[in-house]
Structure formats: C-alpha cells, structure tokens
Structure 1
Amino acid sequence: MTQQPRALVVRGGWEGHQPVRATELFLPFLERHGYAIRVEETTEVYADAGEMGRTDLIVQCVTMSQIGREELAGLRAAVAAGAGFTGWHGGIADSFRNSSDHLQLIGGQFATHPSKEPGQCGGGQEDNYLPYTVNLTALGREHPITAGLADFELETEQYWVLHDDLIDVLATTTHPVRPWHPWHRPIVSPAVWTRLWGAGRIVVTTPGHSLDVLENSNVRTVIERGMVWATRTASAS
C-alpha cells in the first residue's frame, strides 16, 4: 500500500438511494483517516488499469444500472490484485443485475425486501419498512469490523439475499413467516459479510436504504470499520 491510501468512490444508479448524499456522509471519515479521495459519477474509471492499480479502496454506491464489460473486468482485476471493495445496501448488493460476474465477485444478490401487510401499504417506499434485528454471528463478535457491537434493531428495508458459501457472515437477519407471504418457515439472510477475492478484501453491509439508516451508529460503525479493514494491506501491494 502507498504511504497515503487512495480511495475511489464510485456512485450513481437509482436516485432513490441518494448516492451523492449517501457517499458524502463518509467522505469526512476517509479524510480524517488520511485517504486521498477520488469521486467518480460513473463506472468508466473501472476500465482505467493505471488508476485502478493505484487504488487501495473502492467504495461503490451504484444501485441497479449497467456496467460495461471492460469496466467490470477492470474492477474484478483490481480487487483480485489487492484493492479493497465495499459498499452498502443496493449500492453493492443490487448493482448491475445483468452481470453474473459482479454477482460472483461480491457473493450475494438482493432478491427482495418483504412488505407490510397489504392493507397497510400505500404504494410508497415505506411499504417495505419493517422492524427487524441484525444479529451478530459468532464470527462477527470477534471480527474487527463488528467486535464490541451488540445485536441491534432497525426499521427499514430488510434485505432478502441470495448468496454462496464463500462469504464470511458477520451478521444475519431473519425474515419471519407472516400470513400474507408465501414462504413457510423463517428465512435467515446475511446482513453483513466479508469475502476474500484473490489478494483483495470485500465487505458488504445490507442496511443503508436511506440517510437516517446510514447515520444509525451501528450501521455507520460497520461501514466505516469495513472501509478500513478492506483497504489494501502491505502484503497485498
């Protein structure tokens, strides 16, 4: 890693997740920790091999949208070579639905966020705001990203995530059985996970739908610690 770590913040996609305001919540943290920060409004930078090779941390906040073949190849190559990769909510777990290679890179994909009882739904985003618990796993209670935190409550979108076994789950959330939903037993989804990819580290935090959730002290701690943990280490240089 260079003496001053370099962070690349890439934001865009669906405006409902307020990618500009959401990422700007974390720029002061990166500045305080000595990062040189570059902010990009598109994923075109991922195709710049020189820039990606100099980047120690990639913070992605791009919900849905699409990504070019060369851009995605550049992102995957950078992470495999040691760049950290992190993000929250749809900005990483619901990016580029057309890309199986992005899905493989992060190891999990948003599938849905269950809603309230139909009679309580009015057609807005709040229809999917449910109270739920984020439960730390045994690994999460010891991991640098989540050590010292306790299980915590949120009322926001509760992500149902399809995932593979290469992720290391630091926290989970359980979708209960409700009469208006078609599943027949509680479903446990990862809420926070890490993934080792080549020499790189990946951190995904699923809470973060709105600014108030990102400002929750537990969510913010996980995201900020995740940035530091994911950043390229000297051994990955």
Structure 2
Amino acid sequence: MAQRRALVVRGGWEGHQPVRATDLFIPFLERNGYAVRVEESTEVYADAAELAATDLVVQCVTMSEITREQLAGLTAAVVAGTGLTGWHGGIADSFRASSDYLHLVGGQFATHPGKEPCERHGGEEDNFLPHTVNITQQGREHPITAGIEDFELVTEQYWVLHDDLNDVLATTTHPTRPWHPWHRPITCPAIWTRLWGAGRIVVTTPGHSLDVLEHPNVRTVIERGMLWATRTASAS
C-alpha cells in the first residue's frame, strides 16, 4: 500500500500558536505512517497536483484570507477525496470573508462569551469559562468519539453558526447570564464531521491553547479525527 500523505497548513493569527500547536501532532502522523509536508501559507492549495496526491490536510490558520484560486483548489481536493481536519480557530475561524469556505466546513466561529465584566482584566483569560463538552448519541457510536464520556474544560467556549449537514459528535451549551443579551441557553456543536463529495471533514472546536490540545480527550479526538478523515479506499 502506498504511503499516506498529510499536508499541514499553518499560519494566521499567532495567538493560536500555529507552529507549536501543529508540532504536537506531526509525530503522531509520522508514527502512523504518513509522509508529512508542512506549509506556512495557503498558497499550496492552488497546486492541484500536490493536493491530488494528498490524503489529509491538517489546517491551523486563524483569522486569515484565502484567494479564490486557493479555495477552489482546496474544495476540489476535498470533493475528490482528500480529508480535511483542524481545531478551534484554525479551521472554524480561518477565512471570515469567504462564505464558500463556511459552506465547505459547515461551521463558523461567532463568539466566545466572556466572564462577568467585573472579573475581566484585559487578558485572554477573560474568555476562559468552565463548560462541558457533551458527547451526543451519534458521538457515542462514532469511531472518533466512541468511549469518551462528557468532559469539562476551562477555556474558550466556541459559539458557532452551523447547518444540518454536519454530523454532530459533541455539543456544548452556553447558559444565560445576567451580563449576556441572549434569553435562553444555546447549544452549539463542539465536534462534528461533514461529508463533502468523496471527502471527509472533521472540526474540533476546543483547542485555543497548548494545554487544551494536550487534554487527553481533546487530543484523542483530534488524532482519531485525522485517521478518520484521511482519504478512504473508495475515494482513491
């Protein structure tokens, strides 16, 4: 069997430490038999031949921009069977100006609610809230999340805009708070998969910082998601 090829694409906002974050997972890919190529920009997405030979794209690019040609290349590759995965803003808040990208991945970061105003001090911790990641019934049966129970995190809790094409493996619920303007709890997907043509997409919304990525459940989901999203035999 030919060696599987993974393409790690990283960049954008440095607050998500795209180099250190992706470096956590490159050894896992290599141990699982992938030849790994790393790119520091999305220019590679316009290289049709390179993407056609890629079985998995791991993207960690936050608050950036993508050209029409690059997005067309990425989308065509996924439709043809290349897998796409990532975490947190590196996939769910990559290219805010592109509705076509939102259509591809199925969810867009909207906000991460903050603490009570009197508890905020101007740092990233202002948006670190205790919350639960709840595994859905579908998630309990899916190979990415099977055997994982609901778990607690204290970090950014993503509120995402999404559609019903996603297969939601885990959710998180934003409660009502006196200082927030919404009037009832809002449940958002926290982990989902999405089938796009012959390709598989996996989005994991926890992952703001290295400690979250190293949480046993988060890391397990991301690593399993990489394997699951990789081009399948039927898409070869």
1:28 and 1:37 mapped to 2: Cα distance? 9
- Could you tell me which runs of 5 or more consecutive residues in structure 2 were left unpaired when the two chains were aligned: none
Structure 1: how far apart are the matches of 2:141 and 2:125? Answer: 34
Aligned to 1:51, the other structure's residue is in SS state helix
Q: Secondary structure at the match of 1:62?
A: strand
> Scaled by the length of structure 2, what TM-score is found?
0.99
Question: For 1:140, what is the secondary structure of its paired residue?
Answer: helix
Determine if the alignment matches structure 1 residue 179 to structure 2 residue 185: no
Partner-residue secondary structure (3-state), 2:138: coil
After superposition, residues 85-100 of structure 1 pair within 5 angstroms as 85-100=84-99
Q: Matches of 2:2 and 2:131 in 1, distance apart?
A: 41
The size of the alignment, in residue pairs, is 236
Alignment partner of 1:218 is 2:214:
no
Q: Determine the structure 2 residue equivalent to 1:42.
A: 41
Q: Is 1:25 aligned with 2:24? A: yes
1:161 matched to 2:160: yes
Runs of 4+ off more than 3 Å: none
**Equivalent residue for 2:192?**
193
Q: CA deviation at 1:149?
A: 0.5
Give matches, 1:68-87, under 5 Å: 68-87=67-86
> Counterpart of 2:145?
146
Q: Distance in 1 between matches of 2:212 and 2:233?
A: 33
In 1, the alpha carbon distance for the partners of 2:162 and 2:143 equals 22
Give the superposition deviation at 1:31: 0.5
For residues 110-121 of structure 1, the aligned pairs below 5 Å read: 110-121=109-120
* Residues 179-217 of structure 1, C-alpha deviations (whole Å, 9 max, x = no match): 000001000000000000000000000000000000000
Q: What residue identity is the alignment partner of 2:119?
A: Q
Which residue of structure 2 lines up, in the alignment, with residue 58 of structure 1? 57
DSSP 3-state at the match of 1:30: helix
Letter in 1 for 2:19: V
Give, as a single letter, the amino acid of the residue that structure 2 aligns with 1:87: G
Distance 1:71 1:220 in 2: 29
Deviation, structure 1 residue 3? 1.6
